A and B are shown apart, each in its own frame.
Chain A
Amino acid sequence: MSSLPPAKIIVLGLGNDICGDDGIGIAAVRILRGMLDDACIAVEESSEAGLALVEILEGYDRALILDSIRTGTCPPGTIIEMDTAQFRRVIAPSPHYAGLPEVLDLAERLELRFPSDIRVLAMEVEDPYSIREGLTPCVAEALPRFVERARSILAELRDST
Chain B
Amino acid sequence: MNTRNVAEKIWDCFNIAALAVIASLMLLPFVHIFAVSFSSLEDVLQKDFILWPSHWTADSYRVIFQSRPFISSLGVTVTITVLGTLVSLILTTSMAYALTRNILGQRVILLMIIFTILFNAGMIPVYLVVKSTGLINSLWSLIIPGAISSFNLIVIRQFFLNIPGELSEAALIDGANEIRTFCSIILPLSKPALATFALFYAVGYWNKYFEGILYLNDARKWPVQVVLRQMVIMNETTSTLGSDVLLQFENQPPPVTIQMAAILVATLPILILYPFLQKHFAKGVMIGSVKG
Is the pairing of A and B real? no
Which residues of B does A touch, CB under 8 Å? none
